[in-house]
Structure 1
Amino acid sequence: MAPEVKVPLLEGRGATPAQTLGNIVVSIVGTGVLGLPYAFRTAGWLAGALGVAGAGAATFYCMLLLLDCRDRLREQETEEDGHGGEQRPHGDGGNYTYGDLGERCFGPVGRHFTEAIIVLCQTGGTVAYLVFIGQNISSVLPALSSATVVLALLLPAEVALSFVRSLSALAPFSILADACTVLAVAAVVKEDVQLLVKRGQPFAARSAFAGLWGVPFACGVAVFCFEGFCLTLALEASMSNRAKFRPVLLQAIAGVTVVYVSFGVCGYLAYGDATRDIVTLNLPSNWSTAAVKVVLCVALALTFAVMMHPIHEIVERAALHLSRVAVVATLAAIACFVPAFGEFAAFVGSTVCALLSFVLPALFHLRVVGPTASTWARAVDYFFLLSGLVFAGHGMYTVLSPQ
């Protein structure tokens, strides 16, 4: 069976509700938040706010579906053990990974498909990291001429970090990256407030609803922002009192959603149609802004190895014999051809992230709990299943259709 995915800030069990709350926030919040003002510019401030709130609510509900599936499988194992039947394969001590759920629901094919989606989702996140670093560093150091040059210079360091196999050794870098994200968000909010005070009429010349086609884009970025979905089971298993996980999860998702909506609205109201796909690029060109960008990029470069860890685990376990050097180099090459951070984040969010966050949880829940669930619960499952598939199909169509 696949080894359980570990949370970088956790080693072992016994986490308190406060520690779990912090770990949930750290696992969710990433650089995607800096693309939210651009998403609000595309959709409108009201449509963007509703899209982010909807994505947060849907993410919370589908996380609960995973927990329900895990609980039902534990009950089945207990019944099988009690009747002396042959025990089915399961996770360590009943602590399932996302791949374990896929295997229990649909056999080896379910595991392979689930883990393939996880790899694609993590790949999207790591490429977004590289695009973010390339665009920000090239804006601070124009002498490097382009993001491609930045990534070429960065590649040897990332290859070296990819051979650090201990998550505990990489955890300080992850914490540093999150601290720097908070610093960058604070710098942007400070600038937003100053601009809004100068304007005096924050909603003047700002669209509340910019058109129907902007809403899926904003929702895609929002789904991308709620990263860390596949860590739900590990986070719950880390608590000393698992019964308290659901209310703690609700507090975390609700708090993050409020921050996301506030940040997106303020950023768009401040910069309007000039809002960049990475809002730090809107900050004034001075030494403090440059310092924020550089520190944030350094932290993300160090955290890149944490994002790569699940990819390396799954790829190497599949015996594909692809070296870590080749994987990192391939992702860097892909990042060189990504035209814009915002469009890429929306694409990843509306396709593989939608499959991982909505389609698979609903599908697993229908398979495991569906036969005994109420008609209403099954209807909601089918709603998320079909909506997720339509959302992913729209994301693919948007990318493949001629502009």
Structure 2
Amino acid sequence: MEDHETSGLGATASPLGEPLLTATGKRVVDRDTEAQLPPYRSAGASFSRACLNLTNAVSGVGVLAMPYAVSRGGWLSLALFALVGAVCYYTGTLIARCMRADGSVATYPDVGQLAFGAAGRRTVALFMYVELYLVAVSFLVLEGDNLDKLFPGAGVELLAGYRLRGKQLYIVLAGAVVLPTTWLKNLGVLAYVSALGLVASAALTVSLVWAGVSESGFRGSGNVLNLAGLPTSLGLYFVCFAGHAVFPTIYSSMKNRERFSQVLLFSSALCSLNYGLTAVLGYLIYGDDVRSQVTLNLPSGRLYTKIAIVMTLINPLTKYALLVAPITA
């Protein structure tokens, strides 16, 4: 009995000391602690739906800047991209370990409290909520800017002679379109919206390939390494994997939380493949002439350009509900 109690106290004293892998290569999971985790609203998202949500959360409009990132740092900067992806995957597994360490941990601020106490909780919550709020606002502004370029001069008369026009009108319309997705309390259902976002990302890459084959072709050259541009490349690579704030939400929504690491691995590999393919193709097509967003290089009036622009509009809307989920919770 004493040995059992001593063992239990030791496990409680250092819950974060668990190894990521045992000697046999199997992950250590405390099933009792796992079962105590409070679900995010309605837990029960399957493995495939969790993969859709997590992949959609990670894969964002940062893909448009990948060719520019390679042009700034050169081909060898892709090694930094691989390193950043590996680091972000590892830190994602650390988040899962933190959530397994204590049955009360269900959000990112809970992780902050577990690590640094009440001050840590307040600090993490402040930065996380501000970041998610600003990203959500930037998505609406992005929609307004792009739609105003596609359909300039639009306007509508409201009551009391007030008129909405241009970007303001499109921001309001984008908000109206995205609002129903924020009512989906179950992340299993929200996975269908995430699937649309992944289709949009894939269509964007296909449009880029289409442009290269039918227009300028592939140059097959470029800088091997540009040390002066590496900081820019590194910053853009980190932006591509900046989805950690919603990891606890997706983890808590899963039916089988033990498989979160597999979900994270699958999503990271899929996003890395899409990012890397877009980076290589964009740089091969446009070389050092590639612009900060590769869609700006596409010639106007072409069908693939229109598809790329529409996919760029759809992509942020499919991520909006995932981003605001921690705030609304």
In structure 2, relative to structure 1, the CA distance for the partners of 1:286 and 1:53 (3 Å cut) is same
Deviations 1:260-300 (A, max 9, x none): 12211221121122212121121121241453245335425
Tell whether 2:220 aligns with 1:202: yes
Equivalences, count: 279
In structure 2, relative to structure 1, the CA distance for the partners of 1:258 and 1:122 (3 Å cut) is same
1:117 alignment counterpart: 127
1:250 alignment counterpart: 265
Aligned-pair CA distance for 1:26:
1.9
Deviations 1:191-235 (A, max 9, x none): 234567x45x502xx1121223x2222222122111331232333
In structure 2, relative to structure 1, the CA distance for the partners of 1:119 and 1:192 (3 Å cut) is farther
Deviations 1:94-133 (A, max 9, x none): xx21111112333332222112221233245335434543
Contact 1:133–1:300 (CA under 8 A) maintained in structure 2: no
1:35 alignment counterpart: 65
Contact 1:103–1:109 (CA under 8 A) maintained in structure 2: yes
Tell whether 2:282 aligns with 1:267: yes
Counterparts of 2:212 and 2:174, CA distance in 1: 34
Tell whether 2:70 aligns with 1:70: no
Compute the TM-score of the two structures, normalised by the length of structure 1.
Answer: 0.59
2:198 alignment counterpart: 178
1:361 alignment counterpart: none
One-letter identity of the residue aligned with 1:191: A
Aligned sequence identity (%): 26
Counterparts of 1:134 and 1:285, CA distance in 2: 19
1:346 alignment counterpart: none
Counterparts of 1:261 and 1:186, CA distance in 2: 13
1:12 alignment counterpart: 43
Contact 2:204–2:307 (CA under 8 A) maintained in structure 1: yes
One-letter identity of the residue aligned with 1:268: Y
Contact 1:44–1:207 (CA under 8 A) maintained in structure 2: yes
Contact 1:13–1:237 (CA under 8 A) maintained in structure 2: no
SS in structure 2 at match of 1:71: helix
2:12 alignment counterpart: none
Aligned-pair CA distance for 1:176:
3.0
Counterparts of 1:289 and 1:39, CA distance in 2: 23
One-letter identity of the residue aligned with 1:250: L
Aligned-pair CA distance for 1:29:
0.9
Of 275, 279, 286, the match for 2:301 = 286
Deviations 1:154-186 (A, max 9, x none): 232245457655135994555433322221221
Q: Residues 290-305 of structure 1: matches in 2 within 5 Å?
A: 290-300=305-315, 302-303=317-318, 305=320
Tell whether 2:243 aligns with 1:228: yes
Contact 1:34–1:185 (CA under 8 A) maintained in structure 2: no
In structure 2, relative to structure 1, the CA distance for the partners of 1:294 and 1:207 (3 Å cut) is closer
Unaligned residue ranges in structure 2 (runs of 5+): 1-37, 155-164
In structure 2, relative to structure 1, the CA distance for the partners of 1:283 and 1:138 (3 Å cut) is farther
Counterparts of 1:123 and 1:14, CA distance in 2: 25
One-letter identity of the residue aligned with 2:220: P
Tell whether 2:75 aligns with 1:58: no
In structure 2, relative to structure 1, the CA distance for the partners of 1:269 and 1:229 (3 Å cut) is same
Tell whether 2:186 aligns with 1:166: no
Counterparts of 1:274 and 1:142, CA distance in 2: 27
Counterparts of 2:134 and 2:224, CA distance in 1: 29
Counterparts of 1:218 and 1:37, CA distance in 2: 10
Contact 2:64–2:294 (CA under 8 A) maintained in structure 1: yes
Compute the TM-score of the two structures, normalised by the length of structure 2.
Answer: 0.71
Following TM superposition, the consecutive aligned residue runs of length 4 or more in structure 1 with deviations greater than 6 angstroms are none
Deviations 1:288-328 (A, max 9, x none): 145324533542564475266247537xxxxxxxxxxxxxx
2:232 alignment counterpart: 217
Aligned-pair CA distance for 1:134:
4.8
Contact 2:67–2:280 (CA under 8 A) maintained in structure 1: yes
Q: Residues 38-49 of structure 1: matches in 2 within 5 Å?
A: 38-47=68-77, 49=78
Counterparts of 2:316 and 2:196, CA distance in 1: 11
In structure 2, relative to structure 1, the CA distance for the partners of 1:33 and 1:173 (3 Å cut) is same
SS in structure 2 at match of 1:285: coil
Counterparts of 1:29 and 1:222, CA distance in 2: 12
Tell whether 2:314 aligns with 1:313: no
One-letter identity of the residue aligned with 1:105: A
Unaligned residue ranges in structure 1 (runs of 5+): 75-89, 315-403
1:337 alignment counterpart: none
Based on CA coordinates, which of the two structures has the bigger radius of gyration? 2
Counterparts of 2:302 and 2:286, CA distance in 1: 21
Aligned-pair CA distance for 1:60:
0.7
In structure 2, relative to structure 1, the CA distance for the partners of 1:124 and 1:35 (3 Å cut) is farther
Contact 1:43–1:211 (CA under 8 A) maintained in structure 2: yes
In structure 2, relative to structure 1, the CA distance for the partners of 1:313 and 1:109 (3 Å cut) is farther
